[in-house]
Amino acid sequence: MNKVLEFKNISREFFLNNNTLRILRDINFSINQKERVALIGSSGAGKTSFLHIAGLLEPPTTGEVYINNNLIDWNSDKILSQYRLNDIGFIFQFNNLLDDFNATENTAIPFILSGNSKKISIEKAEFLLSEVGLEDRLKSFPNQLSGGEQQRVAIARSLINEPTIILADEPTGNLDNDSSMKVIEVFNNLVINHNCSLIIATHDMDVANSQDRILSIEELNL
Each domain of the chain, given as residue ranges in start order, spans 32-60+73-220
pLDDT tens per residue across span 167-179: 998 887 777 787 7
H helices of 87-117, in order, are 103-113
pLDDT for 72: 95
Q: What does residue 205 show for φ and ψ, rounded to 5 degrees?
A: -70, -25
Closest to 110 in 3D by CA, of 183, 162, 34: 162
Q: Are strands 36-40 and 197-201 parallel, antiparallel or unpaired?
A: parallel
What is the pLDDT at residue 222? Answer: 63
Is there a contact between 195 and 32 (Cβ–Cβ < 8 Å)? no
Which residues are CB-contacts of 96 (< 8 A; sequence separation ≥ 6)?
Answer: 154
- Which phi-psi region, left, alpha or beta, contains residue 148 (left: φ > 0; alpha: ψ -120 to 50)? alpha
Reference 40, options 210, 156, 177, 191; nearest CA is 210
Q: Which of 51, 83, 50, 54 is nearest to 163 (CA)?
A: 83
The letter for the amino acid at 177 is N
Work out the pLDDT band at 96, boundaries 50, 70, 90: confident
Rounded to whole angstroms, the Cα distance separating 97 from 155 reads: 11
- The answer, as to whether pTM is greater than 0.95, is no
Q: Decide: 164 and 87 in contact? Cβ < 8 Å.
A: yes
By three-state DSSP, how is residue 74 classified?
coil
- CATH class, domain 32-60+73-220, is alpha beta
Reduce the DSSP state of residue 198 to 3 states and report it.
Answer: strand
SS (H, E, C) 19-46: EEEEEEEEEEEEEECCCEEEEECCCCCC
pLDDT for 1-22, tens place per residue?
689 999 999 999 888 777 888 8
Instruction: State yes or no: pLDDT of 101 exceeds 70.
Output: yes
In the predicted structure, residue 44 carries a pLDDT above the cut 80: no
